[in-house]
Amino acid sequence: MADEEGVLTDLDNAGNGAGGPVPNGADTQPAVGIITQYVKDLSVENPSAPDVFQWAEAPAIDVQFNIAAEPAGHEVHEVTLKLTVTATSARGTVYIVDLAYCGLIGMRNLSEDQAHAFLYAEAPRLLFPFARGVVADAVRDAGFMPLLVDPVDFNGLYAQQLATRRAEEAAGGQPVAPVTGNA
- Per-residue confidence (pLDDT) for residue 1, from 0 to 100: 42
pLDDT at 9: 36
pLDDT of residue 167: 86
Give pLDDT tens digits for 63-74.
999 999 999 999
Pick from 114, 106, 109: which is nearest to 26 by CA? 109
| Residues of the chain scoring pLDDT < 70 | 1-26, 173-183
**Contact 12/19 with Cβ under 8 angstroms?**
yes
Predicted local distance difference test score (pLDDT) of residue 81: 98
Q: Residue 73's pLDDT is what? A: 92
What is the model's pTM? 0.77
Rounded Cα gap, residues 170 and 31, in angstroms: 32
pLDDT computed for residue 28 by the predictor = 80
Topology, domain 31-167: Bacterial Protein-export protein SecB (3.10.420)
pLDDT in tens, 92-105: 999 999 999 999 99
